Amino acid sequence: MTTSSKAAPKKRRRSPANKPVHEPLSFVDQFRGAAPYINAHRGRTFVITFSGTLIKENHFHPFLQDIALLHSLGVRLILVHGARPQIDDRLQDFNVESEIINGLRVTNDEVLLCVKESVGNIRIDLEGAFSTGLPNSPMSGANIRIASGNFVTARPLGVRGGIDYQHTGEVRRIDTAAIEKLLSGGFIVLLSPLGTSPTGEVFNLSSEDVATSAAIQLNADKMLSLIEGGELLDQKKRLLRQLTPDEAEKILNSRRKLPEQMARHLISAIHACRQGVPRTHILSSLQSGSLLQELFTRDGIGTMISADHYDEIRAATIEDIGGIIELIQPLEEEGILVTRSRELLEIEIDHFTVMERDGTIIGVIALYPYHDQKIAEIAGLAIHPQYQNSGRGEALLKHLEHRLNKDSSHPVERLFVLSTRTAHWFQEQGYDPAKLSDLPVERQQLYNYKRNSKVFMRTRNRA
């Protein structure tokens, strides 16, 4: 479908004047493509949770570099770390038995000592890593301040299903005022999976609970979860890039068994989204740089759960002209679409509808009604090559149908389209071959016999 003595500084070699230096095109394109996201993310609040397993991996240091880069770009960051493998190691060192039931550790007195020691060590190591300015990295010398503290108030989980979880708890409250003050002061805030009660009792918490509660109570713009098995695939082993909370819940309730970690984080993402966090993301911690790819590319690398659909369909405006031209010009040059000048587009912009994805026009369609004859023409349908065969053309058609249904003052009973290359696709959408004489007379007079477009028509069933 369409659409001791100081050495003299070493001189840098320069190319001859007639041979200008060019940056690699792929880098330039990628950097330009990231610019809208750099601007969009500046000043936003992100909660990022990562497992204790990532901390033990070789690519944890590059992950810290990515965090430092986000911080330097003006993103307000709350980091929530896990500690399960570190706790397991400490329990083994002391020959302490521990049970994990329904994804939660039963925390007795001995286990709690190991939990506090493991979490404390991680917290100190993370603070130290950022305090060094990340030597031998792109962020070397950066003045990064990180703050941690008793920001999480917890309560006991109690007895559930006959199991007394003892010192295992759940988040009761996040000290949002203190965290906001630190974020405004340029700090990265570090939250650990520990909480205290008003009486001073310490509870072992899940990092998902801490991250979700922080994201909701701080009105975060995003919550991002990095997990070992961070790829949520459909039945054809394709990555599910975008889900609504309802769609994600259907996956959880289906017979398909998800890995425990994926299921826990998917539940957290759904809950956060339904409680006002606009977008939650689940991505793999096994791939170095996945965090940057998720945040600074149009389609990302993981699964996003959002309360609304990622692609916005709306009426076109004059500001969209440049994006529309960029989308349809290659199709005009191939003769697939009728050529329209910029001036004509500006005059007819009210007829156009666009599909926008993160500030980029990825789809366009036009509707030209002939109200006196209760008929309308579909024209100029184009989908960005990267998003073809993904149902977006059908979505644009359905949007126009919905808009027509709402306009009771000008009922349209038939739709027609003139096509040179996409005949089969329109027939799949319910359009039947028609004759030129079936069109309004004024449209017949504008017919371009050199293009020899085929006519297709569909009678609408009004809702």
pTM of the predicted protein model = 0.69
Q: Which residues contact 298 (CB under 8 A, 6 or more apart)?
A: 33, 357, 358, 360
Same domain, residue pair 52 and 167: yes
- The CATH number assigned to the domain holding 108 equals 3.40.1160.10
Q: Which residues contact 98 (CB under 8 A, 6 or more apart)?
A: 87, 88, 91, 105, 106, 107, 111
Residue-wise DSSP of 363-383? EEEEEEEEGGGTEEEEEEEEE
Q: Which of 248, 275, 306 is the last residue of a domain?
A: 306
Same domain, residue pair 258 and 404: no
The pLDDT score that the predictor gives to residue 7 is 39
The pLDDT score that the predictor gives to residue 308 is 65
Low-confidence residues in the chain, pLDDT < 70: 1-25, 132-142, 230, 308-310, 461-463
Same domain, residue pair 77 and 162: yes
Range(s) of the domain holding residue 53: 38-306
The pLDDT score that the predictor gives to residue 249 is 92
**Strand ranges across the sheet with 312-315:** 312-315, 352-357, 360-370, 375-383, 414-419, 454-459, 432-434
The verdict on residue 223 lying in a domain is yes
Q: Which of 248, 276, 306 is the last residue of a domain?
A: 306
The pLDDT score that the predictor gives to residue 462 is 43
Phi and psi angles of residue 229, each rounded to the nearest 5 degrees, phi first: -100, 65
The pLDDT score that the predictor gives to residue 137 is 59
Same domain, residue pair 85 and 211: yes
Same domain, residue pair 208 and 254: yes
Give the DSSP letter of residue 320.
G
The pLDDT score that the predictor gives to residue 14 is 39
Give the DSSP letter of residue 349.
G
In a 3-state reduction of DSSP, which class is residue 5?
coil
